[in-house]
Amino acid sequence: MIINQRTLKTSFLLTGKGLHSGLSVKIKFNPAPENHGYKIRRIDLPNKPIIDAVAENVVSTERRTVLGSSIMQIGTVEHALAALYGCEIDNCLIDVDAPEFPIMDGSSISFVQKILETGTVTQNAKRIYLSFPRKKIKVRDEISGASLSLTPNESFSIKSSISFDSVLLKQQGAYLSDLSLFVRDFAPARTFVFVREIESLIDKNLIKGGDLDNAIIIYDQVIQQDKLDNLSDMLHVKKRNANHLGYMMNKPLNISNEPARHKLLDIIGDIALVGYFIKGKIEANHPGHAINNLFAKEIRKNIILEKRSNTLNMSGFYWNEP
């Protein structure tokens, strides 16, 4: 079956808070022509510069994915891109009036709901599916042990596992057997952070907009009562006994493995920067934005290598149609 490219039926607007900047952000998702891909326009800057949402344009992966050029940067793009990719939108121009996307509730669901409400239109051009039927692509960080791999397969799936030195979040896994399940099973999964990490993030001038409305906060190691009280004040939550470990949240977990599902959501947002829909089995161990971006870059590098190879022997690489 041949599948054509899709874009939004019309534009839609969302407003929210930047997780790291704390700024009020307006973001507008617009229809785009065939073979446009995902592009982001900073409408608050002179001449309204546009950047392609591709892996080579990533300039930072600390706690988020940041795209940048000599004249602009735009951060925290992964949740919105996961929504576009998970809803199988091929082409979209995103307007934003701040240096980062709004965090919303820390998941992709706000973006997904607006996409579904707005609807999509089918375009004339065929969708390009990327696959490497004769090779396995793998990246690994020898220090952290993080790794991602792509093996040949006729369909798309992701299997991911995470583990932490934590009494509350030791090891979790998540599995996406088909992209069509993203909206129901993964889009609502919220980002998370450990209380023990928050102080260093504040020192790095990050999470100015963080609170219990946009993240799962995990208190898994006892800290001094006065420090916990200060963090509670900053997060606008009720103070608690520092000896009582647990989750600090306004809403319960959506599902027991919500952190693992969110990490898988992040993988989708980061591989959206490959620029094409993928066929193959992805396996991830200890994923994060840094290793995810290396993986996306490696896939794009193999596109170039295989294209060059094909000019000589016409083997090893295909733009597959379903």
Write out pLDDT tens, residues 111-135.
999 999 999 999 999 998 998 888 8
pLDDT of residue 262: 98
Q: What would the pLDDT profile of 77-87 be if each residue is shown by its tens digit?
A: 999 999 999 99
- Mapped onto helix, strand or coil, the DSSP state of residue 256 is coil
Q: Nearest CA to 30 among 103, 99, 89, 85?
A: 89
Q: Delimit the domains of the chain by residue range.
A: 4-132+259-320, 192-248
Examine the pLDDT at 192 and tell me if it is beyond 80. yes
Q: In this structure, are residues 202 and 19 in contact, taking their beta carbons and an 8 Å threshold?
A: no
Is residue 266 part of an annotated ligand binding site? Answer: yes
pLDDT of residue 224: 92
Measured in residues, the chain has a length of: 322
Q: In this structure, are residues 16 and 97 in contact, taking their beta carbons and an 8 Å threshold?
A: no
Between 226 and 197, the higher pLDDT residue:
226
Examine the pLDDT at 215 and tell me if it is beyond 60. yes
Q: What would the pLDDT profile of 130-165 be if each residue is shown by its tens digit?
A: 988 888 999 999 988 999 999 999 999 999 999 999
Least confident of 167-171, 209-213, 276-280: 209-213
Q: pLDDT above 70 covers what percent of the chain?
A: 90
For residue 244, indicate whether it is catalytic.
Answer: no
Examine the pLDDT at 12 and tell me if it is beyond 70. yes
The neighbouring-strand residues paired with 100 are 75
How far is it, in rounded angstroms, from Cα 289 to Cα 293?
A: 6
Tokens of 30: 């617009």
Examine the pLDDT at 313 and tell me if it is beyond 50. no
How far is it, in rounded angstroms, from Cα 13 to Cα 176?
A: 29
Examine the pLDDT at 249 and tell me if it is beyond 50. yes
Cα–Cα distance list, 184 to 42, 83, 198, 318 (Å):
31, 11, 30, 31
How far is it, in rounded angstroms, from Cα 76 to Cα 66?
A: 6
Answer whether 0.75 is exceeded by the pTM.
yes
Q: What would the pLDDT profile of 283-295 be if each residue is shown by its tens digit?
A: 999 999 999 999 9
Confidence of residue 319 (pLDDT cuts 50, 70, 90): very low
Is residue 244 part of an annotated ligand binding site? Answer: no
Examine the pLDDT at 318 and tell me if it is beyond 60. no
Which homologous superfamily is 4-132+259-320 in?
Answer: lpxc deacetylase, domain 1 (3.30.230.20)
Q: In this structure, what are the phi and psi dihedrals at residue 58, rounded to the nearest 5 degrees?
A: -75, 130
pLDDT of residue 203: 67
The secondary structure of 16-43 as a DSSP string is EEBTTT--EEEEEEEE--TT--EEEEET
Examine the pLDDT at 213 and tell me if it is beyond 90. no
Between 67 and 247, the higher pLDDT residue:
67
What amino acid occupies position 61?
T
- Mapped onto helix, strand or coil, the DSSP state of residue 290 is helix
Confidence of residue 255 (pLDDT cuts 50, 70, 90): very high
Examine the pLDDT at 303 and tell me if it is beyond 90. no
Examine the pLDDT at 315 and tell me if it is beyond 70. no
How far is it, in rounded angstroms, from Cα 308 to Cα 282?
A: 24
